[in-house]
C-alpha cells in the first residue's frame, strides 16, 4: 500500500481523485445501443444479449415457473437470511414515511405538501461474477413502501439463459414479478425507451459497471430520471491506534473484491507500525479470497494517508467524500459529528460495511466519486415526489394581492400582476 505522510493541503485534491474514465469513449459505445433498441426494440435486445451476455433468448421476460422454481433452488439458510434482511430494511425505510404538511401562511392562504409515488420504476440488478440479490432488497423494499404502481427488474442472465435464483427470490419477497433477462447498457436503454416486452419507466435505479453508468447518464439526458450519478464502489477506513488491524484489512478487501476499478483508502493517525500490521493482514487475507485477482488489482490503486493529528484526517475525509466511511477510532462519535461529506458512515470497530451492504437496514445504494458532497444515499424519498397545493380564499386575496402585484410589477410581468388584480377587483378590494 502506497503510504503518504502528512500531505500538504495543496496535494489533497490530487490524492482524492478517483480512477478516470474517458466518458466520451463510453458514450460512443453506449449511444449506438440506445439507437438500436429505440429503432428495433426486442429484436435488438436479443441480438445484444447474444453479443454481450453470450446467450440466445426466445423471450426476454422471466416466466412464473422460473420465479417459483427459485424457492426450491435456494438453501434454507440463505432464504432465512434474505427474509431477515428484508425485515430490517423494511423497518428502517418504513420509518421514513413522509407526513403531509399543511400551513396557513396568512389568513385565507393555505399551502399543502403531499407525497406521491413515482409511478413506474426500473431496477437494474448486476449479475455476472457477483449477482447482487441484496440490491433487489435495497431498491425493491422502498419502492414497495412508496407505493410505486409498476416496478420492473432488468438483470443479465447466465449463458444458460437463467436468472440467479437468489435474485428471483429477493424480487418475489418485494412483490416484483416483472423481471427481464437483459444486462448492461441495453437494459438501461430498454427501460428508457420501452419495447414490446419491456415497459418504459419514469425513473431508473441501480448500480453497474462503467457502461451501465454511462447509459444511465445518457438516459437522464432524455426523459427518464435516474437515482444518482455514480461510479465504481469505494471505501475509506479512518483509524487510530485503537483499531483492530484484522478488521481494517477485511473492510478494505470487502470493497476491493467488487472489481479492479474499486477504490480503497486508509486514513490513519497511528504510527507506521499499525499501518504495517494492517498491510500484513491485507496480504494474508488476500491470499485466502476466491476473488483475490479482482481485489489485488484494486489494491494497486489504493493508498494510505498518514496524518499527525485527527483534525487533518477529518478534513481530508470530508474532501474525499467517500461512498462508505468506516471510523475505527476511539472517539468515533465525536469524529462522526464532524463528518459532512459521506454516503454512509460505520461507527466503531464492530460496524463493518458488510452489515450495511446486506442486512442492518440502511441502504447500500450510495453516491460515489465525491458526489456525497451533493447527493444523499438512496432512501424512501428517492421513490416519491412531493407536490404542493394551495387554496386562496377571498380573505387570502385581500391579504396577498398587494404583495403579488407589487412584486410582479417590479419584474415587469404585467400578466402576472393582472391575474391577481382582476380577482381583487371582482371582490371590490
**Catalytic residue numbers, as ranges:** 323-324
Ligand-binding annotation for 124, yes or no, is yes
How far is residue 155 from each of residues 22, 64, 275, 328, measured CA to CA in Å? 25, 16, 40, 36
Question: Cα–chain-centroid distance for residue 59?
Answer: 29
Question: Phi, psi at residue 131, to the nearest 5°?
Answer: -70, 110
The CB-side HSE value for 209 (13 A sphere, CA atoms) comes to 19
Ligand-binding annotation for 411, yes or no, is yes
Burial letters 175-184, b for 16+ CB under 10 A, else e = ebebbbbbbb
Q: β-pairing, 101-106 with 109-117?
A: antiparallel
Non-local CB neighbours of 241 within 8 Å, separated by 6+ positions: 269, 270, 271, 274
- What is the Cα–Cα distance from 389 to 403, expressed in whole angstroms? 20
Ligand-binding annotation for 233, yes or no, is yes
Rg (CA), the chain: 25
DSSP state of 9: G
Ligand-binding annotation for 357, yes or no, is yes
Ligand-binding annotation for 255, yes or no, is yes
Q: Torsion-angle region of residue 326: left (phi > 0), alpha (psi -120 to 50) or beta? A: beta
The CB-side HSE value for 206 (13 A sphere, CA atoms) comes to 35
Ligand-binding annotation for 197, yes or no, is no
Ligand-binding annotation for 254, yes or no, is no
- What is the Cα–Cα distance from 15 to 307, expressed in whole angstroms? 13
Burial letters 18-48, b for 16+ CB under 10 A, else e = eeeeeeeebbeebeebbebbbeebbebbbeb
Ligand-binding annotation for 209, yes or no, is yes
Q: Which three cell numbers stand for residue 281?
A: 493482514
Inter-residue contact 163 to 66 (CB < 8 Å): yes
Residues in the chain, total: 429
Ligand-binding annotation for 416, yes or no, is yes
Binding residues: 124, 186, 209, 233, 255, 258, 324, 357, 411, 416
Binding residues for substrate: 233, 255, 258, 324, 357, 411, 416
Binding residues for NAD(+): 124, 186, 209
Binding residues for Zn(2+): 255, 258, 357, 416
Amino acid at each position: 500500500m502506497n503510504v503518504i505522510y502528512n500531505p500538504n493541503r495543496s496535494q489533497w485534491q490530487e490524492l482524492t481523485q478517483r480512477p478516470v474514465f474517458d466518458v466520451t469513449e463510453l458514450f460512443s459505445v453506449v449511444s449506438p445501443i440506445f439507437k438500436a433498441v429505440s429503432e428495433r426494440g426486442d429484436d435488438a435486445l436479443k441480438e445484444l444479449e447474444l453479443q454481450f451476455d453470450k446467450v440466445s433468448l426466445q423471450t426476454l421476460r422471466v416466466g412464473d415457473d422460473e420465479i417459483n422454481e427459485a424457492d426450491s433452488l435456494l438453501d434454507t439458510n440463505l432464504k432465512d437470511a434474505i427474509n431477515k434482511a428484508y425485515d430490517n430494511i423494511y423497518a428502517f425505510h418504513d420509518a421514513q414515511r413522509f407526513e403531509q404538511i399543511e400551513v396557513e401562511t396568512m389568513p385565507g392562504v393555505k399551502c399543502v405538501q403531499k407525497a406521491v409515488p413515482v409511478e413506474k420504476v426500473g431496477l437494474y440488478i448486476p449479475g455476472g461474477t457477483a449477482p447482487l440479490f441484496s440490491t433487489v432488497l435495497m431498491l425493491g423494499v422502498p419502492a414497495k413502501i412508496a407505493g410505486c404502481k409498476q416496478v420492473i427488474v432488468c438483470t443479465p442472465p447466465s449463458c444458460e439463459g437463467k436468472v440467479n435464483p437468489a435474485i428471483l427470490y429477493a424480487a418475489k419477497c418485494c412483490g416484483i414479478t416483472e423481471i427481464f433477462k437483459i444486462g448492461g447498457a441495453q437494459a438501461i436503454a430498454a427501460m428508457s425507451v420501452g419495447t414490446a416486452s419491456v415497459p418504459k419507466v419514469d425513473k431508473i435505479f441501480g448500480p453497474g459497471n462503467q457502461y451501465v453508468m454511462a447509459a444511465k447518464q445518457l438516459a437522464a439526458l432524455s426523459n427518464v430520471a435516474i437515482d444518482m450519478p455514480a461510479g465504481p464502489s469505494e471505501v475509506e477506513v479512518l483509524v487510530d491506534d485503537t483499531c483492530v488491524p484484522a478488521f481494517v484489512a477485511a473492510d478494505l478487501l470487502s470493497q476491493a473484491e467488487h472489481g479492479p476499478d474499486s477504490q480503497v483508502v486508509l486514513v490513519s493517525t497511528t504510527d507506521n507500525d499499525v499501518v504495517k500490521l494492517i498491510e500484513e493482514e491485507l496480504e494474508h487475507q488476500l491470499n485466502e479470497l476466491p476473488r483475490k485477482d479482482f481485489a489485488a488489482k484494486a489494491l494497486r490503486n489504493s493508498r494510505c494517508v498518514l496524518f499527525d493529528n485527527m483534525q487533518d484526517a477529518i478534513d481530508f475525509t470530508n474532501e474525499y467524500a467517500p461512498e462508505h466511511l468506516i471510523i475505527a477510532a476511539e472517539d468515533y462519535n465525536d469524529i462522526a459529528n464532524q463528518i459532512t461529506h459521506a454516503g454512509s458512515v460505520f461507527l466503531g470497530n464492530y460496524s463493518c460495511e458488510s452489515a450495511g451492504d446486506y442486512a442492518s437496514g440502511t441502504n447500500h445504494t450510495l453516491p460515489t466519486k465525491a458526489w456525497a458532497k451533493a447527493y444523499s444515499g438512496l432512501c424512501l424519498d428517492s421513490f416519491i415526489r412531493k407536490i404542493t397545493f394551495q387554496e386562496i380564499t377571498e380573505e387570502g386575496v385581500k391579504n396577498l394581492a398587494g404583495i403579488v402585484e407589487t412584486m410582479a410589477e417590479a419584474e415587469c410581468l404585467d400578466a402576472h400582476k393582472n391575474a391577481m388584480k382582476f380577482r381583487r377587483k371582482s371582490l371590490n378590494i
